[in-house]
Amino acid sequence: MRILLLLSAPFLLSGCVTSIVKDVVTAPVKVVSKTADVLTTSQSESDEKRGRALRQKEENLGKLARKRDKAQDKCENGDQGACDDLRDIEREIDAEQDRSI
């Protein structure tokens, strides 16, 4: 009976050993692939980020355009300070339009 158990032990344990060896061998590959996934940006994430930046730029341009319109009205009514502000606002608009996304 002992001999039968001793002879069958390697066959019974080989499945466990194979499973452990497989886990040990594939663990570094899994770690590297997970790290690469975390460090890289997918195309959809990149598109979402670009969309947010475009919306932010458009919002800033809209605010500046409203400020420019108010300053222009005041400047046309003779307010010299508003004319100075108008030139500054127009420079800000140009800078915002030239800003890359």
Output the pLDDT for position 84: 94
Q: What's the number of CA atoms in the CB half-sphere (13 Å) around residue 39? A: 6
Instruction: Flag whether the pTM goes above 0.75.
Output: no
Ranges of the chain whose pLDDT falls below 50:
none
**How far apart are the C-alpha atoms of 98 and 93, rounded to whole Å?**
9
Report the C-alpha gap between 92 and 98 in whole angstroms: 10
In the numeric block, the tokens 């001793």 are attached to 6
The single residue listed with the structure tokens 């400047």 is: 75
Dihedral (CA of 64, 69, 74, 78) sign: positive
